[in-house]
Homo-oligomer: A and B are copies of this chain.
Amino acid sequence: MDAQAATKFIRSVRAVRRFADREIPVDTLRDVIETARWTGSAKNVQPWHVVVVRDRAMLGQLAACGEFAYHLKGARLGIVLVMASRGYAFDAGRLTHNVMLGAWAHGVGSCIAYFQPDDNQAKAKELLGIPDDRWVPTGISLGYPADEAALRISSDPGRTSGFAVGRMPLDQFVSWEKFRQTA
């Protein structure tokens, strides 16, 4: 595979929060799950498990488990991360990233749902029958983007996020040899 094409693809991932009512084919879902399964983790402990949720009623209930979980309501499916314990946030980020990239390879958009604060996470665990000792920080909404604008605009018209668009300039992002040293 062409290197530039691959990195261009990686850079093209955006959060998608509004989804088309188009089913995700089983083979696509399987490929996304396989991509997630092969995520690397510290000491290859693989401190994780995922629950795939397609049931609309359940997605609606999970969407209520956090201010930033609302988009699960309109998703075609959700993938909920079940981490072994709270110490694995770093690996949870890596796992989430592989799900998002794997989906995006198929043109399927995604967005991270945060089950916060802790009582919302407890609710999500109860809904899915997840044991109390696991850590369930996030789910991921998945679906084909509703339209072009879905790559940029919130699913909630009343919600003007105010989040920055784009990324910080290169010279703010990187130093050379020492902190804040330019090339």
Q: Which residues of B contact A9 (CB under 8 A)?
A: 1, 6
Name the contact of A35 in the complex, choosing from B11, B128, B161 (C-beta under 8 A).
Answer: B11
Q: Which residues of B contact A137 (CB under 8 A)?
A: 90
**Copies of this chain in its oligomeric complex:** 2
Name the contact of A6 in the complex, choosing from B6, B38, B54 (C-beta under 8 A).
Answer: B6
Tell me if A155 is interfacial: C-beta within 8 Å of chain B: no
Q: Are B102 and A7 in contact (CB under 8 A)?
A: yes
Q: Are A102 and B173 in contact (CB under 8 A)?
A: no
Tell me if A23 is interfacial: C-beta within 8 Å of chain B: no
Known contacts A9-B1, A177-B58: A40-B53 contact under CB 8 Å: no
Within 8 A of B (CB), among A163-177: 163-165, 167-168, 170, 172-177
A4 to B102, CA, bound (A): 9
Name the contact of A3 in the complex, choosing from B49, B51, B105, B163 (C-beta under 8 A).
Answer: B105
Q: Which residues of B contact A131 (CB under 8 A)?
A: 179
Known contacts A10-B101, A101-B10, A102-B10: A173-B50 contact under CB 8 Å: yes
Name the contact of A31 in the complex, choosing from B7, B52, B170 (C-beta under 8 A).
Answer: B7
Name the contact of A97 in the complex, choosing from B93, B173, B174 (C-beta under 8 A).
Answer: B93
Chain B CB within 10 A, most for which of A4, A90, A106 = A90
Kindly supply a per-residue 1/0 record for chain A positions 141-183, scoring 1 wherever the CB is within 8 Å of any chain B CB and 0 otherwise: 0000000000000000000010111011010111111111100
Known contacts A42-B114, A105-B1: A33-B174 contact under CB 8 Å: yes
